[in-house]
Structure 1
């Protein structure tokens, strides 16, 4: 139970920092007059931070050779992350942070239901049911309300 609570709190914190990341990246994009470069710079700094973390935890870098065993499709994750960060940098100043992230969450939840339902790439299967669909519909209603006001 305690582990579950820590995981839930970590997920909430991870979600909570995304709007801050967006606002900071937007400011960087304005400073350099190029939102896509801001996304690139964000990834470079993030990569350096992850490298420092790996050094701190004494990661066994000899395991890097195992990367060649990964399916080629997994490398799309980096491109998808870059698209996401660049899109948020471009969209948030135009739509507002609340609407942008409301739409992002609605898109995430909709696709997540489909991925869960099919157990995509070995994920545990969690079938779509009316309660889960109702949750997404309520999110979409929230997005409409945010958009209106």
Structure 2
């Protein structure tokens, strides 16, 4: 079962550059990254609205009980920033550097969130191996950019 999850997460990561490419093309054709980002979120919302009836999930306003405003709005706001900035960066930096930096940022922040037990189930302290992993990812981004 864990292998299936590993594969699905890897494939989701592989989709991000495709999403970035589609979004950058949309932003260019519309001559507006802001409206292109809005279209992305509208299409995503429609896709989820069509998917939900096929699940066993039921909606109730009680689902929000115990949630903070940060938890309710955080993901959507961060998603909007990510989509918009990646649309603007992609034509300027290229696919490899843009998403190399995205991955580096994700890993570095994830290690810090794990270490300080922020938004995670179990803390995982920074150690030499995690530090080395971060350095290797940064080195990979530098190598991809240089060559």
Establish whether TM, by shorter chain, passes 0.5.
yes
Q: Which moved more, 1:124-133 or 1:113-122?
A: 113-122
Looking at structure 1, the residues matched to 90 and 124 of structure 2 have their Cα atoms a distance apart, in angstroms, of 32
- 1:60 maps to 58
Give ranges in structure 2 of 5+ residues lacking alignment. none
- Picking from 32, 35, 48, the partner of 1:34 is 32
- 1:94 maps to 92
Deviation at 1:122, TM superposition (A): 4.5
- 1:45 maps to 43
- 2:125 maps to 127
Looking at structure 2, the residues matched to 21 and 129 of structure 1 have their Cα atoms a distance apart, in angstroms, of 33
| Number of residue-to-residue matches in the alignment | 146
- 1:22 maps to 20
Give ranges in structure 1 of 5+ residues lacking alignment. none
Where is the helix percentage greater, Structure 1 or Structure 2? 1
Deviation at 1:19, TM superposition (A): 0.5
- Picking from 70, 91, 94, the partner of 2:67 is 70
Deviation at 1:68, TM superposition (A): 4.7
TM-score, L = length of structure 1 = 0.93
TM-score, L = length of structure 2 = 0.94
Looking at structure 1, the residues matched to 32 and 61 of structure 2 have their Cα atoms a distance apart, in angstroms, of 33
Looking at structure 2, the residues matched to 122 and 107 of structure 1 have their Cα atoms a distance apart, in angstroms, of 17
- 1:8 maps to 6
| Segments of 4+ moved more than 4 angstroms | none
